Structure 1
Amino acid sequence: MAEFKLVISNPNDGNAKQLEVTGKEANSLVGKRIGDTLEGDKIGFQGYLFEIKGGTDQDGFPMTKRMSGPQKEKVLMKGGTGFNPTRDGLKERKTVRGSEISEKITQINLSVKEVGNKDFNEIMEE
């Protein structure tokens, strides 16, 4: 059974909130990819629309949009998610996860695309 921590950022006010989902709500996220949109009704935010921005797996490795699928691989990187080069031309082999959400993902980062009827902070306090 899947269990995720959702980090939901609201670009309108710059706040981010954390929410844990399990069971049916969490299973609806499995198979989605970075960049996909998610209806807020599935996770308790009526009328909201979210975009999946990324996440990390159980070992702390970040998800990257460059790889399809849920697998973990070592890839040669010259920048981007998981690697910040300290000088020009620097490349390094880093372990990253693919862009698909699986049961091995523990944290999913979401961003608000469309706001629903209720205020974001009011829903989080309930």
Structure 2
Amino acid sequence: MVNFKLTVSDKKGKSISKELKDSDAHPLVGLPIGKDTDAAIVGLSGKMKITGGSDKSGVPMRQDVHGSARKYVMLSKGVGLQQAEKGQRIRKLVRGNTLSEEIYQINCKFDGELPVEQAAPEETPADAKEEKKE
């Protein structure tokens, strides 16, 4: 049973979230970070590029660690390391660059522009009071 939360962003900074389950998510299993895939699985036309992700406990994926296992890696900068002073290296837990069933969230970059969804107009409190009087 595979469940992914997919966050798809475009070049302008807009993003959408989709949840993929079982048969919809299986085409993504085994793909590495940086691979292009079809955006039809989230209902878009075009291509999207996998840029990263994390597992259920928040351990980030890192592109230069091969496989899908969790590993302790000596880091000096980049994904998985928030702040390091010059010359400092820290051993941190990261996950490999291949999508597996343990991955929870996947980040993607869409090559086009995401469609703008029209939100329904919300009621104001004044409108609700008038309806009660009638």
TM-score by length of 2: 0.82
Task: Determine which of 51, 72, 86 is the counterpart of 2:84.
Answer: 86
SS at match of 1:24: helix
Query: After the TM superposition, which parts of structure 1 deviate over 4 Å for at least 4 consecutive aligned residues?
Result: none
**Counterpart in 2 of 1:58?**
56
- Using the alignment, how far apart are the partners of 2:2 and 2:87 within structure 1? 40
CA distance in 1, matches of 2:11, 2:41: 21
Q: How does 1:34-53 map to 2 (within 5 A)?
A: 34-45=33-44, 47-53=45-51
- The within-5 A match list for 1:65-80 is 65-80=63-78
Q: Residue 128 of structure 2 aligns with which residue?
A: none
Structure 1 gap ranges (5+): none
Which structure 2 residue ranges, 5 or more long, are not aligned? 118-134
Give the structure-1-normalised TM-score.
0.86
Residue 85 of structure 1 contacts residue 91 of structure 1 at CA under 8 Å; is this kept in 2? no
| Higher-strand-fraction structure | 1
Give the count of matched residue pairs: 118
Task: State how 1:1-126 maps to structure 2 within 5 Å.
Answer: 1-12=1-12, 14-45=13-44, 47-114=45-112, 120-122=115-117
1:84: how far off?
2.9
Percentage of pairs with the same residue: 32
Provide the alpha-carbon RMSD of the alignment.
1.6
